[in-house]
Structures are given as structure tokens and as C-alpha cells.
Structure 1
């Protein structure tokens, strides 16, 4: 229980501190490097408070320029912190607009360059994704999306949304599949108690988009899903979490 209490206190304080830092950097034009520091500081604080160790395999599949899209499965909020802290890139997330209802988190995410989209308004979402693609190219960013649209309730890979791949087709950036394991043990959806444990991130070879058109979204979705399923099948994340 002490770890859980520490985690929640850290969640509040770190979100306020690094959110304010991101907002200040955005205001004064501090640039991408300072935004990365704010993002990683927030992520590492949360992982440390929970006693989570992150291991990453397949870093050779990341593009040196950082301009790419990562499609990952989604088991826990810890997936976000694991990817920010574990990947040597300027990572930003595409997340549902409902997070805007959390005041300090919303300010920090927007300031740090994360993208909040309203899936109930397709026209607005499409415009937001187009702007995100422009920013990705201009600032050499790596954008992460969760094709399932929400966290898995049982740890198994859920149904993918074809619309999630519109950004990849819009930008023609490399699409890197990622399998994240362990978060469902540390902090599953609906849980209140945090448990210590490892999280493993596996990156697969980029899926090329040359010649792909909007009608090819289903094919792209199936290729990405198959790649993530294969990586999830490679093995366990290193053992069960412990109290």
C-alpha cells in the first residue's frame, strides 16, 4: 500500500510540475529538446514511483530522423510512460479528447505537443491529424497511436480501428509496429493498486507505405495487427508483477 500511495502522490506532483514546465517551455519557445526533457521527466518519475523497469528490444527499427509513426497495443496507462522513457526519440502521443477533462494533464499534454482528437467529430479529427502530420515533419517527431482506441480489459489484443491509420497514409511516414507487455500486471484498467513489475517493449521492422492509398487502410491494419500479434507471442515480459 505504501508504493500505491507514493505512486498517486507522485502522479499529482509530477503531472503538475512537468505540465507547468511544458507550458512554460511552449510559452517561451524553448524548443523540442526541452519538451523531451519534460516528457521524459514525467514518465521516469511515474515509472520510478511504481517500481517499474522498462526493457526495449528492436531499437534498430527506429528511423534516425525520428519522423515515424508507432502503432502499439494498449494494456495500461503505463504503456505511455514506458514508450516515452524507453524510446530514444521525440515521442508524442495521439490520444482521445476526453483527457482534456483533466485540467493540468490537458495543459501539459497540449503544450508538450501531444495530440488530442475528438473521435465523435470525424471532420475535426481529420483536420487535427493533418496538423499533427505537419508538425511531425517540421519538428522531427515520433507519433504514437493505439489502434485499439482504448486499453484492453484482459490484456489480449483488441479490435483495431481502421481510422487510426489515416495519419500514416496522410504523411507516408514509416509505420513501426510495437508490442508492449507487462502493464496489465502493474496497473490494469479499473485497478486502484499499483504493483511493481517489468514492462517490455518490442519494435518490429517498419511497414512501408509506398503506393498505399486510403482504400488500403484495411490491409495496412491487418499487416500491423499481425506484426504486433507475432511480437506478443514471442514470450512473456519477464515474469509476474509483485506487491
Structure 2
């Protein structure tokens, strides 16, 4: 009797979930984000033990990368890679720049992240449960953005890490998430790092998400992202006096590419029926 009642309840819940998924864009929006964050925490939990074998080594991100590229497929974001071969096979230290739109940027980045690459991240991530622990075990470089003096000290340490451990460091030069259809002004930190460490800058540009993701309207449909890697910018023989010029060149190139590939996605959306859905 009890089994029959439980079975009926499960069936009713399943029918309700299917109905809401098909009929409510708000339900789909929150369900996808819940799955995304739950999946991040689950993967982080599963990777704690393997990462303890080599704590703090960026090579550990490989474990997360392999699992994430499979489990994130359920969210419905596909990535079209362009000119990423050199980036994916990069075997020298470098600064990797990418525009920052949303937390789901990780989905695209995991498809192109090279061996021994890690992230420059805000210190608060350390307190994000298992993800924070695994981030530390994966060699994330944390900065305290609320304490500029400490942040400057961290930057000096990061230069040594890049040079001595030959790592590649992902940095979001805008410093915060932005889905306004344009890029925010870039912070100078990444460019100071690249020049002080005398390593090249590899810019990666992700096309706009706004054709399938709109947090204000609670829309999160299936979609495609173009991940386009630009030619590297060398920093050899540059000094701190060249920071502003280098920043302007890199931002102009990334901005132009962002507009180009975002316009392409907009045209595809119009062909698909002028909706947010981009197959």
C-alpha cells in the first residue's frame, strides 16, 4: 500500500516537473542554474581526494575539465571554437584573458583550457564550500580585492609563480561580470603581470549570451557560444610605461572581435525565428 502511494507521489511530481519545464521559462531558468551550481559542488567534492595527491598544482584542473565537459552538456550550451589550437596546446607560461559575462563562462573555458592553466580569483571563492577547497587544491591564485595593499603584494608573488612554475593564468580583465552587450573598461593588473613576468598575452573572446540567456527576464534557453582566440600579444622588452598602450591594443582587438562574433550570433538568431533560441 505504502509503495503504491510513494509511486503515485513520484509520478505526480515527475509530471509536474515536466509540465513546468515545458511551460515556464522561469522554472527552466532557476532549474538550470541550480543544476549548474550543484554540479560544480559535486564535481569539486569528487575531486578533493585526487587533488590531494598534488595539492596546489594547476595540473589538477584536468580532472575537473574532463568531468565538466560531460556533465555541463545537460545545460544546453555548445561551444564553437575558433583559432584555439595554439591556446589549447600552449606549453609556455602566459596570461590568458577572457571577457566575463556570467558564471557559466566556465563551460566555455573548460573546452579550451591548456595544460597547467589556473585562475586568478577573488579571495571570497575560498568560502564556496567544496568548490573553494578544490579551487585552492587546483592552484587558483587568490587576491583580496577589498585590500589594495595585499592585492599588490599578491601580484608580486604571482609574477614569481608564473616564472618559476611555468603556469598559464586565466584573468577576467573587466574585473566583474557584464552582460550589457559591450565590454567594461579593463583593469591594469593583468597587463602589469604580463610585462613584469615577460610572458605573452593570449586573448580569448566569448560571444554575447544575450540571445539565449537573460537574467532580468529569467530566460535560459539552449544556445551556442563562439570562443574565438586572437593572436598573442608579446611583452618582451616592454616596461611599466607600456601598460596603458598594451591595454588599449588588447581591449580594442577583443572588443572588435566581440562585436563581430556577437553580431554573427544575432543574425543566426534572426534566421532561427528572431528568438533567444540558437541551435
Shorter chain as normaliser: what TM range?
Answer: 0.7 to 0.9
Greater gyration radius:
2
Contact preservation (8 Å) 1:182, 1:197: no
**Structure 1 residues 150, 218: CA separation in 2 closer, same or farther (over 3 Å shift)?**
same
Q: Which runs of 5+ in 2 are unaligned?
A: 1-19, 22-27, 270-275
Match of 1:210 in 2: 236
**Structure 1 residues 121, 8: CA separation in 2 closer, same or farther (over 3 Å shift)?**
same
The answer to which structure, 1 or 2, has the higher relative contact order (CA under 8 A, 6+ apart) is 1
SS in 2 for 1:86: coil
Report the count of equivalent residues: 242
Alignment of 1:77-88 (within 5 A): 77-88=103-114
Q: Which runs of 5+ in 1 are unaligned?
A: none
Question: After superposition, what is the alpha-carbon deviation per residue over 1:21-56, rounded to whole angstroms, capped at 9, x for unaligned?
Answer: 33323322286554312234235423x121010011
Match of 1:56 in 2: 81
Match of 1:163 in 2: 189
Contact preservation (8 Å) 1:117, 1:125: yes
Alignment of 1:131-142 (within 5 A): 131-142=157-168
Q: CA deviation at 1:225?
A: 0.3
Alignment of 1:139-158 (within 5 A): 139-158=165-184
| Off by >6 Å, runs of 4+ in structure 1 | none
Match of 1:230 in 2: 256
Contact preservation (8 Å) 2:51, 2:134: no
Cα RMSD after superposing both structures: 2.7
| Structure 2 CA distance for aligned equivalents of residues 114 and 232 of structure 1 | 27
TM-score if structure 1 supplies the norm length? 0.84
When structure 1 is superposed on structure 2, of 106-115 and 35-44 the one drifting more is: 35-44
| Structure 2 CA distance for aligned equivalents of residues 157 and 58 of structure 1 | 21
